[in-house]
């Protein structure tokens, strides 16, 4: 049971973590990003669409397109995030409203396009793209460790990809000139502008990064939880990642801890259901555990949060 809790907890927490890192990049630059939910869905749609299309027309086993699907999902999330970037940065729209609109648009658009593409291109009446489950692997030696060895069993390849990208993202944000400018934009954009840096470009890049990482998270959930792309991927994971980055105080390592708590709460609920031999009808109730935990954490830790000082403020260069 412990092995199941750890294996399933990690497979849920790590995509949540990489999506939260995308949110950190956007919000540390000063752009509130409630659109993570929609970006993950459109990114997953984009990657799954190209995977099934290439597999169908070129007769390539879809499992061989795994890493291509991950890459294209990042591209899709990045492309869709341009809408949020343009609305918030170019047209100075309300950032909260823009995020909500992006989420609604993404769900409606992917539902419509998935159904129509299946009918026109594949001759099927379906709102899903079947891409199958991801293969898994175990790391010899490390998997033999007591208790912690479960973290090295039945791994999805995307978990390694996520950890690798997370390390790069942490380094770029905290150890590079670009990361320094990005963080400064979220605290005092006028001083950044005075130093000769284009605040709009930095914020635009930050939002694009959030879209790419959200798209990656979306396709990872598609491969692990659903085994197909469908509108059901919009299950509140984007909002959960926003809660994680808030509890992590907009810092990457504490955010990882929050994501692990959510992941183990979810897998722990399923393990508890198996131990108590609960009927399958309780599965929906168990899925609410991470959200209940979010509310509890909000009550106890919200007062200690220190968001970027200029977060959500519409930057106007002329008001310097």
Element at 210 (helix H, strand E): helix 199-221
Greater model confidence, 3 or 191: 191
What is the value of pTM for the model shown?
A: 0.95
Q: What pLDDT score does 283 carry? A: 66
Cβ atoms of 170 and 250 within 8 Å: the answer is no
- Say if CB 92 and CB 199 are below 8 A apart: no
pLDDT tens profile 198-210: 999 999 999 999 9
* Burial bucket for residue 295 (CB in 10 Å: 0-12, 13-18, 19+): exposed
Percent of the chain exceeding pLDDT 90 equals 71
What percent of the chain has pLDDT above 70? 97
> pLDDT at residue 280 above 70?
no
Structure tokens that stand for 162 in this block: 């996520």
Beta strands in 268-309 (DSSP E): none
Strand-pair partners of 137: 155
Whole-angstrom CA distances from 298 to 9, 243, 244 are 21, 8, 10
End-to-end CA gap in the chain:
58
* Distance from C-alpha of 182 to C-alpha of 163, rounded to nearest angstrom: 22
In the chain, the domains with their CATH numbers are 2-132+150-158+165-310 (1.10.3470)
Q: 24-61: per-residue pLDDT in tens?
A: 999 999 999 999 999 999 999 999 999 999 999 999 99
Least confident of 2-11, 97-106, 264-273: 264-273
pLDDT value of position 320: 59
Burial class for 310, CB neighbours closer than 10 Å (0-12, 13-18, 19+)? buried
Residue with tokens 């492309």: 79
Exposure class string for 54-65: b at 16+ Cβ within 10 A, else e: bbeeeeeebeeb
């Amino acid at each position: 049971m412990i092995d199941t809790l750890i294996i399933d907890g990690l497979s849920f927490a790590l995509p949540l973590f990489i999506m939260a890192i995308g949110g950190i990049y956007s919000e540390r630059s000063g752009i509130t990003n409630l659109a993570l939910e929609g970006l993950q869905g459109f990114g997953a749609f984009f990657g799954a669409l190209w995977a099934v299309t290439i597999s169908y027309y070129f007769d390539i086993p879809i499992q061989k397109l795994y890493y291509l699907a991950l890459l294209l999902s990042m591209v899709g999330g990045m492309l869709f995030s341009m809408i949020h970037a343009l609305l918030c940065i170019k047209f100075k729209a309300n950032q909260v409203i823009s995020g909500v609109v992006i989420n609604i648009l993404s769900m409606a658009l992917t539902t419509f396009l998935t159904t129509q593409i299946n009918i026109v291109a594949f001759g099927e009446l379906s709102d899903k793209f079947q891409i199958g489950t991801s293969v898994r692997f175990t790391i010899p030696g490390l998997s033999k460790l007591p208790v912690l060895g479960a973290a090295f069993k039945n791994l999805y390849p995307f978990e390694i990809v996520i950890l690798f990208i997370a390390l790069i993202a942490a380094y770029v944000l905290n150890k590079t000139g670009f990361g320094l400018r990005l963080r400064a934009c979220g605290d005092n954009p006028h001083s950044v502008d005075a130093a000769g840096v284009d605040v709009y470009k930095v914020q635009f890049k930050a939002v694009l990064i959030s879209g790419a990482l959200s798209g990656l998270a979306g396709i990872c959930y598609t491969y692990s939880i659903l085994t197909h792309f469908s509108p059901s991927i919009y299950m509140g994971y984007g909002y959960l990642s926003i809660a994680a980055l808030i509890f992590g105080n907009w810092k990457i390592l504490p955010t990882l801890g929050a994501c692990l708590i959510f992941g183990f709460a979810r897998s722990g609920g399923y393990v508890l259901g198996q131990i108590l031999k609960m009927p399958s009808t309780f599965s929906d109730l168990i899925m609410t555990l991470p959200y209940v935990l979010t509310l509890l954490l909000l009550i106890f830790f919200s007062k200690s949060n220190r968001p970027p000082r200029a977060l959500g403020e519409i930057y106007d260069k002329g008001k310097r």
